[in-house]
């Protein structure tokens, strides 16, 4: 077994009623004037009020300009709001976009240079202000990872900050906070979480610890996602999804993700396709390519998805894993085909070249893929 490190948020608080621990955690972290980082839709829905109700007599500010895909400019705007309000901590209430924006602010707020200096691996030099992450979707796992990804609209690229200093001080995962999540977001973020678990299990950087967590996440999500999608008020399904997403985040935050994410980045950067949708759309096609490299692991995935594999050979079981993923995406109405998002076919070669250069992700993939291979995957998914 290779040497590995396991990193998560400093403290995890999960389950129904977990939101009621917010005040105690703010006191523990000595935060008296937090900035709430969220979006306007969540603020209007009343979901943010569940967190605000726990603040007591504390002063606080609200930044509600988060967009579905977090942009570099929004990190800068939010940082200005943080500094202007003399805030001493951050509470991210939202999906991965809000949590990533808050992570970016935590890294940048006390940095003396430009934000661009922080893009890359381990370029954040010190711990920033206290950060509490409260996810309102079950998908990104951003509440337990050390990565924040942002869109550079001018360059049409996704750029990331990777640092252990981004790990939240508290991940407060409460299924009640996800009840207002729209069905389309439930589907896309849920499959996104499944992608995280699958890619973590297939990663060349996986460990015994991440393997166990990833397979557990796959089992939970495969059963709970169709239920949460069919009946958004099903709190038990919402809780299983919140837990599954958290576990998937723990797994991929340490094992890494692979080609699905690498191929998804150009779709988001160039065509503004939501990250979860991009991952969901590409998952079955990348799995089809990867299965020959680790067929026995695909057998495990099939079993975790609920497929009876005892009577199947490894190859047939691997085929069933891909089919189970495809069927799940169909069951929750994930859009199919790049053409349905008006991606021009002549953009594929450039996207393939771009994806092939994302070494941080591609080196985790169980099968080595060339730009020509990636182009074939894009065309299969077209």
Q: What tens digit of pLDDT does each residue of 322-340 get?
A: 999 999 999 999 888 999 9
Span 77-88, mean pLDDT? 97
Span 300-324, mean pLDDT? 95
Band of the pLDDT at 1, cuts 50, 70, 90? low
**Structural domain boundaries in the chain:** 12-178, 183-380
CA torsion, points 153, 156, 157, 158, in degrees to nearest 10? Answer: 40
Band of the pLDDT at 156, cuts 50, 70, 90? confident
d(CA 142, CA 168): 9
Mean pLDDT over all residues of the chain? Answer: 94
Residues with Cβ within 8 Å of 308's Cβ and at least 6 positions away in sequence, in order, are none
Domain 12-178 and domain 183-380, same fold? Reply is no
- Helix 275-290 vs helix 371-380: crossing angle, to nearest 10: 110
- Percentage, residues of the chain above pLDDT 70: 100
Band of the pLDDT at 68, cuts 50, 70, 90? confident
Q: Which of 271, 282, 260, 287 is nearest to 334 (CA)?
A: 282
pLDDT tens figures, 205-256: 999 999 999 999 999 999 999 999 999 999 999 999 999 999 999 999 999 9
Residues with Cβ within 8 Å of 180's Cβ and at least 6 positions away in sequence, in order, are 42, 45, 46, 47, 136
**Residue 157 CA, distance from chain mean position:** 17
Q: Which CATH class is domain 183-380?
A: mainly alpha
Q: For 12-178, CATH number?
A: 3.40.50.1970
> pLDDT value at position 200?
98
pLDDT tens figures, 166-175: 999 999 999 9
The answer to whether 208 and 1 have CB atoms below 8 angstroms apart is: yes
């Amino acid at each position: 077994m290779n040497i590995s490190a396991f990193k998560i948020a400093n403290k995890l608080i999960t389950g129904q009623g977990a939101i009621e621990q917010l005040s105690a955690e703010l006191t523990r972290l000595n935060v008296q004037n937090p900035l709430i980082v969220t979006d306007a839709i969540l603020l209007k829905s009343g979901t943010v009020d569940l967190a605000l109700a726990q603040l007591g007599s504390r002063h606080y500010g609200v930044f509600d300009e988060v967009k579905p895909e977090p942009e570099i400019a929004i990190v800068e705007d939010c940082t200005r709001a943080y500094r202007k309000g003399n805030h001493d901590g951050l509470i991210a209430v939202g999906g991965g976009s809000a949590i990533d924006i808050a992570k970016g602010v935590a890294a940048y707020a006390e940095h003396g240079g430009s934000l661009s200096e922080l893009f890359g691996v381990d370029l954040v030099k010190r711990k920033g202000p206290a950060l509490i992450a409260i996810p309102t979707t079950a998908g990104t796992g951003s509440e337990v990872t050390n990565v924040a990804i942002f869109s550079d609209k001018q360059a049409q690229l996704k750029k990331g900050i990777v640092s252990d200093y981004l790990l939240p001080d508290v991940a407060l995962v409460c299924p009640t906070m996800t009840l207002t999540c729209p069905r389309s977001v439930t589907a896309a973020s849920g499959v996104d979480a499944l992608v995280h678990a699958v890619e973590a299990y297939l990663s060349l950087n996986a460990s015994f610890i991440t393997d166990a967590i990833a397979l557990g996440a796959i089992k939970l999500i495969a059963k709970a996602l169709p239920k949460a999608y069919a009946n958004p008020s099903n709190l038990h399904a919402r809780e299983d999804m919140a837990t599954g997403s958290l576990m998937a985040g723990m797994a991929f935050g340490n094992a890494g993700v692979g080609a699905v994410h690498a191929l998804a980045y150009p779709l988001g950067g160039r065509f503004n396709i939501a990250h979860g949708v991009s991952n969901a759309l590409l998952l079955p096609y990348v799995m089809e390519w990867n299965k020959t490299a680790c067929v026995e692991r695909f057998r495990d995935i099939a079993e975790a998805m609920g497929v009876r594999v005892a009577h199947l050979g490894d190859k047939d079981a691997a085929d069933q894993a891909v089919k189970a993923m495809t069927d799940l995406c169909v069951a929750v109405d994930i859009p199919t085909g790049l053409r349905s998002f008006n991606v021009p076919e002549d953009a594929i070669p450039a996207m393939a070249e771009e994806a092939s250069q994302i070494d941080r992700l591609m080196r985790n993939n169980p099968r080595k893929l060339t730009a020509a291979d990636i182009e074939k995957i894009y065309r299969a998914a077209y």
